[in-house]
Amino acid sequence: MNSGSLEVGREAGFATWIVTGGIGGGWTIMSRMGMAVVAEVVTACSWNELVLSSDMPVLVEFWASWCGPCKMVGRLMDELAHEYSGKIQCFRIDADDYPRVAALYGVERIPTILVFKHAEKLEMIVGTLPKSVYVAAIQKLLAQ
């Protein structure tokens, strides 16, 4: 399968997004106004490469498409990916599609954010919480 491209219109008043990507890699999302940094999708196949082998600290959101609170946390993850670009990496993995990965790391409820550094899980944040909770975890992670 080749990499693909998809143009997606957003809500009224927002930019049109152009989404490109391919197998094994994350998706790049660009607006007509420039590059947007967002949390990338990770799979069981790309987990070791993207999460465990990362030179930077990593946040991973476990989510599901049917989960309303996950959508709120997903927006926060995109904001954090943009705000901490170059300092951390943010990923998301669908817990329904990859239940073994979720079980391996003790994820029983979604949304759950796992915080990794040098392939070690340092923190688990469960539920929909204020952005300040995630920022505090990132600041703690960067201070180590």
Q: How far apart are CA 78 and CA 71, in angstroms?
A: 11
**Residue 18 domain boundaries:** 1-36
pLDDT at residue 31 greater than cutoff 50: no
Over residues 111-138, the mean pLDDT reads 96
Q: Are 23 and 61 in a shared domain?
A: no
Does the pTM surpass 0.85? The reply is: no
Residues 72 and 125 in one domain: yes
Distance from first CA to last CA of the chain, Å, rounded?
A: 41
Same domain membership, residue 11 and residue 57: no
Band the pLDDT of 127: cuts 50, 70, 90: very high
Q: Mean pLDDT, the chain, as a whole number?
A: 82
Q: Which residues are catalytic, by number?
A: 67, 70
